[in-house]
C-alpha cells in the first residue's frame, strides 16, 4: 500500500528554484548594482533549511505508517513514453531515502551557512551559491527518484555541479584540469551505469521501470543477467564514489573551495554510489559473488588510500584520501550484504568528515589559504573552537569509542568476520590503525608543537561565528550519531538498522558474542596503536621529512596517475594524432573532397541557366508547367 504526497515533488524543486533565482540575480547584476553578500547568503540558505524541515516531515510521515507500508510516492508527470519504456518523473521515499534525505539536507544547510563566512569577499559570491543550491536539488532528485532513470538525472546533475565547483577558481589552469579530470573519469563510470540500466530494462523493464516493479520482477532474472547488471552498476559506483580503479579524481577535486569539498566530495555526492548499491540491494543480495567483488574492491581501496593518506602534506589531500578510504569501508559493508551497516557508516561519515573538512577550511581561512601541514603547528591556542571540534571529528574518524565512527566502522568489521571473510576483516583492522595514525598525524602537525611558520602563525585568527556554529553543531553530531545504532552488546537497540530494514534485502549472519568482542577489541587496539605511533612521531613537533624508497613511492600515490597517463591517456592521444595526421588526410579526405568537387561542377553547369532576365525564367516556368500538364493528362487517361 502506497501513500501519495505531493510535497515530495516540492523537495527537489525548492533548491532548483533557489538556484535559478540566485543565478539570474547574479547574471543580471553589475559592478555598481551588486546585491550584498548578506542578501545572497540569506536567499541561498532558505532552500536547504526548508528542505530539511520537509525531510523531517517525510521521516515523521513514514514513521506514522505501519512498518511494512513505509513508502510514500508522488508522480509529477510522465517524462517520456516510447514503446514499452514509460518513464515518469516520480519521487519515492522509503526509510532508506528518508535517512539519506535527513543528513543530506542537514549537512547542506550547515555548509550553506558556513560558506557565507568562508566565501566572504569572493568576486562571484552569487554564482557559488547558485551552484551549491543546484547541487542540492540534483542530490535530492538522486535520493528521491522513484527509478533508475530519475536517479540517473540526479546522478549526472551532481556530477555537473561537482565539475563546476571543482573548477570554480577557474583563473588557475590546474583547477580547470582537475575539474575536467573529475568529469571525464566520472563519465567512464556513468557508461557502466547506463549499460547496467539498459540491460536491466531489456530484461525486465517492460512491466515497469521503477524500484517497486523491479523488485517485484527481480525473480524473473537469470543469475548471469543479475551479475552483469550489478557489475555494470558497480562500475558506475566506482566512478561516483571514487573506488579502485576510478578513485584518481577525488584527490584532485580538492582544488574546489573547501565547503564544496565538505559537502560534495565528502558528505553527500561521493556516497551516492553506496546509496545506489543499497537501493539495488534486492539485486545485489541475489549474487553474493558480485558482492564479494564489491567488498574486496572497497577494502583494497581503503587500504591503498590509507597508505597514501599517511604521506600527504596538503591538509585537504589527507582528508580526501581518508574519504576514499572510508568509502572503501562502506563498499566493504554493502558488498557483504550488510547494507544497513554500510549506510550507517555513510550517515556518521557525513557528520565527522563534513566537520573535518569545515575545520580544515577554518584553518585554511585563518592562514590565508595555506594548505601545507608542514607550515602549520601550535594553532591550538589561536583557533580553540576549530581545534576542539576537529579533535572530535578526528576521534570519530579514527574510530575511538564512543564517538560515532567507532560504532559504524566496527559494525562493518564485525559483519566481515561474521560472514566468514577474515581477509577483509584483517585489512579493515589494519586500515583502522592507519586511519588513526594519519588523522592524528594531521592533528598533531596542525595544532600541536610549535609554529613552523611564525609569520603565518601571528596572523592566524579564529573564524567568524557564522563558520564556528556549524562546526559545533556537526561536532555534536559526530559525537552522538553513533548512539543511534548502538549494537546489542552495548545495550542498544540498533535503531537505524531496524528503521532501514524494510528498504533493504539484508542478510543477518549469526555470530557468537566472542566474535563481536574480538572485532571490537581489535578495532580499539588498532586505534590505540595508530594514535601512539602518531604521537611518538609528531606529538611534540617534527621536521619536514625527506621521503625515500617506499615512502616516496606512496607520497607520489604509487605513481598511479603517471601509470594511467601512460596506459590510457597517451595511447588515446596517439590514436587521435594518428587520425589527425594519417587517417584524415590520406583516407577520408579524398571521398569528402570528391563530393565537394561534384557539387562545384554541377554548380558551374547550372549557373549557365541563370541568366538573370525575368523573361527567360518565364520560359522555364512555361516549359515546366507544360510538362506537368502533359504528365497530368497522360495519367488521367
The SS3 assignment for 266 reads helix
Of residues 572 and 606, the one with the C-beta less far from another protein: 606
Number of residues lying near another protein (CB under 8 A): 11
Residue selected from 596, 612, 633, 636 as contacting another protein according to rule CB under 8 A: 612
Cβ(300)–Cβ(427) below 8 Å: yes
User: Could you write out the three-class secondary structure of 190-247?
Assistant: HHHHHHHHHHHHHHHHHHCCCHHHHHHHHHHCCHHHHHHHHHHHHHHHHHHCCCCCCC
Nearer to another protein, 489 or 611 (CB): 611
Q: Which stretch binds another protein (CB under 8 A): 76-84, 266-274, 299-307, 618-626?
A: 618-626
CB atoms within 10 A of CB 3: 15
Candidate residues 619, 627, 630, 631; the one interacting with another protein per rule CB under 8 A: 619
**Residue 97: all three cell numbers together:** 531515502
Question: Cβ of residue 141: shortest distance to another protein, in angstroms?
Answer: 55
Residue 630 CB, shortest distance to another protein, in Å, is 15
Looking at 176-184, 214-222, 488-496, 609-617, which segment touches another protein (CB under 8 A)? Answer: 609-617
* Binding residue (CB under 8 A) for another protein from 174, 602, 622, 627: 622
Phi, psi at 33, each rounded to 5°:
-105, 30
Torsion angle in degrees (nearest 10) through CA of 232, 237, 239, 245: -70
Closer residue to another protein, CB minimum distance, 31 or 610: 610
Whose CA is closest to 237, among 266, 204, 280?
A: 280
- 387 contact partners, CB below 8 Å, separation of at least 6: 379, 380, 447
CB of 618 vs another protein, minimal distance in Å:
5
Q: How far is the CB of 622 from another protein (least distance, A)?
A: 6
| Least distance between another protein and beta carbon 599 (Å) | 14
Cβ proximity to another protein, 572 vs 613, nearer residue: 613
Smallest distance, another protein to C-beta of residue 623, A = 11
Range in contact with another protein (rule: CB under 8 A) among 168-176, 221-229, 414-422, 611-619: 611-619
C-alpha span between 559 and 554 (Å, rounded): 8
Instruction: Give, in order, the Cα–Cα distances in Å from 397 to each of 57, 431, 528.
Output: 30, 12, 13
Binding range to another protein, per CB under 8 A, among 196-204, 385-393, 568-576, 608-616: 608-616
Residue 427 phi, psi dihedral angles, 5° rounding: -60, -40
At closest approach, how far in Å is the CB of 593 from another protein? 24
Among 79, 583, 599, 617, binds another protein (CB under 8 A): 617
Residues in CB range of 275: below 8 A, 6 or more apart: 96, 100, 142, 143, 343, 346
Answer whether 282's CB lies under 8 Å from 218's CB.
yes
Binding string, 588-607, against another protein, x = CB under 8 A? Answer: -------------------x
Q: Of 483, 488, 566, 618, which one interacts with another protein (CB under 8 A)?
A: 618
**In the bound complex, what is the minimum distance in angstroms from residue 626's beta carbon to another protein?**
10
Listed in sequence order, the residues at least 6 apart from 256 whose beta carbon sits closer than 8 Å to its beta carbon are 165, 166, 167, 168, 169, 175, 178, 179, 264, 265
Which residue, 279, 317, 323, is CA-closest to 301?
Answer: 323
Instruction: Out of 30, 33, 82, 614, point to the residue binding another protein (CB under 8 A).
Output: 614
Shortest Cβ 609–another protein spacing (Å): 8
Alpha-carbon gap, residue 25 to 33, rounded angstroms: 10
- Which of 512, 610, 634, 635 is in the footprint of another protein by CB under 8 A? 610
By beta-carbon proximity to another protein, the closer residue of 592 and 618 is 618
Shortest Cβ distance from residue 608 to another protein (Å)?
Answer: 9
Instruction: Name the residue nearer to another protein (CB basis): 82 or 614.
Output: 614
Q: Which is nearer to another protein, 568 or 625 (CB)?
A: 625
Q: Radius of gyration (Cα) for the chain, nearest Å?
A: 29
- Taking CB under 8 A as the binding criterion, the range among 66-74, 338-346, 447-455, 610-618 that sits at the site for another protein is 610-618
**Is residue 346 a contact partner of residue 330, using CB atoms and an 8 Å limit?**
yes
Measured over all CA atoms, what is the biggest interatomic distance in the chain, rounded to whole angstroms? 109
Nearest residue (CB) to another protein, 82 versus 608:
608
DSSP state of 464: P
Q: Cα–Cα–Cα angle for 365, 371, 374, nearest 5°?
A: 125
Question: How far is residue 506's CA from residue 97's CA, in Å, rounded to a whole number?
Answer: 16
CB 164 to another protein: min, Å: 50
Of residues 314 through 353, those in contact with another protein by CB under 8 A are: none
* Nearest approach, Cβ of residue 619 and another protein (Å): 5
- Residue closer to another protein by CB (options 615, 637) is 615
- For residue 404, which of 468, 325, 492, 469 has the smallest C-alpha distance? 492
- Looking at the Cβ atoms of 488 and 622, the one nearer to another protein is 622
Q: Among 173, 600, 615, 637, which residue sits at the site for another protein (rule: CB under 8 A)?
A: 615
Q: Which is nearer to another protein, 67 or 619 (CB)?
A: 619
Q: Which of 489, 611, 627, 631 lies at the binding interface for another protein (CB under 8 A)?
A: 611
CA distance 253 to 175: 8
Which spans of this chain sit near another protein (rule: CB under 8 A)? 607, 610-615, 617-619, 622
Amino acid at each position: 500500500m502506497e501513500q501519495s504526497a505531493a510535497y515530495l515533488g516540492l523537495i527537489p524543486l525548492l533548491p532548483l528554484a533557489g538556484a535559478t533565482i540566485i543565478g539570474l540575480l547574479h547574471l543580471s547584476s553589475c559592478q555598481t548594482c551588486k546585491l550584498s553578500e548578506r542578501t545572497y547568503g540569506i536567499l541561498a540558505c532558505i532552500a536547504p533549511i526548508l528542505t530539511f524541515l520537509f525531510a523531517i516531515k517525510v521521516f515523521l510521515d513514514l514513521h506514522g505508517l505501519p512498518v511494512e507500508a513505509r513508502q510514500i510516492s508522488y508522480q509529477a508527470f510522465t517524462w517520456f513514453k516510447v514503446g514499452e519504456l514509460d518513464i515518469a518523473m516520480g519521487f519515492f521515499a522509503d526509510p532508506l531515502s528518508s535517512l539519506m534525505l535527513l543528513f543530506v539536507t542537514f549537512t547542506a544547510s550547515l555548509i550553506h551557512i558556513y560558506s557565507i563566512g568562508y566565501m566572504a569577499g569572493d568576486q562571484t559570491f552569487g554564482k557559488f551559491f547558485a551552484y551549491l543550491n543546484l547541487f542540492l536539488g540534483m542530490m535530492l532528485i538522486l535520493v528521491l527518484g522513484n527509478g533508475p532513470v530519475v536517479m540517473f538525472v540526479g546522478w549526472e546533475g551532481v556530477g555537473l555541479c561537482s565539475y563546476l565547483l571543482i573548477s570554480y577558481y577557474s583563473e588557475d589552469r590546474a583547477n580547470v584540469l582537475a575539474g575536467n579530470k573529475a568529469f571525464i573519469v566520472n563519465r567512464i563510470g556513468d557508461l557502466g551505469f547506463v549499460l547496467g540500466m539498459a540491460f536491466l530494462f531489456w530484461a525486465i523493464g517492460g512491466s515497469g521501470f521503477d524500484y517497486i516493479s523491479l523488485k517485484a520482477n527481480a525473480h524473473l532474472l537469470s543469475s548471469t543477467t543479475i551479475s552483469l547488471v550489478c557489475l555494470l552498476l558497480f562500475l558506475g559506483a566506482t566512478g561516483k564514489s571514487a573506488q579502485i580503479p576510478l578513485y584518481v579524481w577525488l584527490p584532485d577535486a580538492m582544488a574546489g573551495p573547501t565547503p564544496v569539498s565538505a559537502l560534495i566530495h565528502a558528505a553527500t555526492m561521493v556516497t551516492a554510489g553506496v546509496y545506489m548499491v543499497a537501493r539495488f540491494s534486492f539485486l545485489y543480495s541475489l549474487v553474493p559473488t558480485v558482492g564479494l567483488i564489491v567488498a574486496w574492491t572497497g577494502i583494497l581501496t581503503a587500504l591503498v588510500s590509507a597508505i597514501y593518506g599517511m604521506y600527504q602534506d596538503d591538509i585537504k589531500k589527507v582528508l580526501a584520501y581518508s574519504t576514499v578510504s572510508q568509502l572503501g569501508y562502506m563498499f566493504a559493508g554493502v558488498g557483504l550484504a550488510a547494507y544497513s551497516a554500510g549506510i550507517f557508516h555513510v550517515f556518521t561519515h557525513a557528520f565527522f568528515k563534513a566537520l573535518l573538512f569545515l575545520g580544515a577550511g577554518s584553518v585554511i581561512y585563518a592562514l590565508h589559504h595555506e594548505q601545507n601541514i608542514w607550515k602549520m603547528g601550535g594553532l591550538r591556542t589561536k583557533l580553540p573552537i576549530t581545534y576542539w571540534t576537529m579533535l572530535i571529528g578526528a576521534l570519530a574518524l579514527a574510530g575511538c569509542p564512543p564517538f560515532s565512527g567507532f560504532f559504524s566502522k566496527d559494525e562493518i568489521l564485525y559483519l566481515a568476520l561474521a560472514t566468514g571473510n577474515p581477509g577483509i576483516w584483517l585489512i579493515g583492522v589494519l586500515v583502522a590503525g592507519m586511519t588513526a595514525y594519519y588523522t592524528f598525524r594531521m592533528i598533531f602537525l596542525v595544532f600541536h608543537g610549535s609554529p613552523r611558520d611564525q609569520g603565518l602563525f601571528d596572523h592566524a585568527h579564529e573564524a567568524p561565528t557564522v563558520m564556528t556554529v556549524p562546526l559545533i553543531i556537526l561536532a555534536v553530531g559526530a559525537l552522538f550519531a553513533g548512539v543511534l545504532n548502538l549494537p546489542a552488546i552495548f545495550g542498544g537497540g540498533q535503531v537505524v538498522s531496524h528503521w532501514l530494514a524494510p528498504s533493504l534485502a539484508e542478510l543477518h549472519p549469526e555470530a557468537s558474542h566472542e566474535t563481536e568482542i574480538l572485532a571490537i577489541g581489535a578495532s580499539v587496539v588498532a586505534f590505540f596503536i595508530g594514535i601512539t605511533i602518531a604521537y611518538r612521531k609528531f606529538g611534540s613537533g617534527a621536521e619536514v621529512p625527506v621521503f625515500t624508497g617506499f615512502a616516496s613511492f606512496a607520497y607520489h600515490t604509487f605513481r598511479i596517475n603517471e601509470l594511467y597517463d601512460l596506459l590510457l591517456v597517451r595511447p588515446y592521444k596517439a590514436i587521435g594524432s594518428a587520425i589527425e595526421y594519417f587517417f584524415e588526410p590520406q583516407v577520408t579526405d579524398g571521398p569528402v573532397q570528391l563530393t565537394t568537387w561534384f557539387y562545384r561542377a554541377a554548380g558551374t553547369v547550372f549557373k549557365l541557366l541563370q541568366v538573370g532576365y525575368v523573361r527567360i525564367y518565364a520560359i522555364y516556368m512555361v516549359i515546366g508547367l507544360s510538362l506537368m500538364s502533359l504528365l497530368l493528362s497522360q495519367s488521367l487517361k
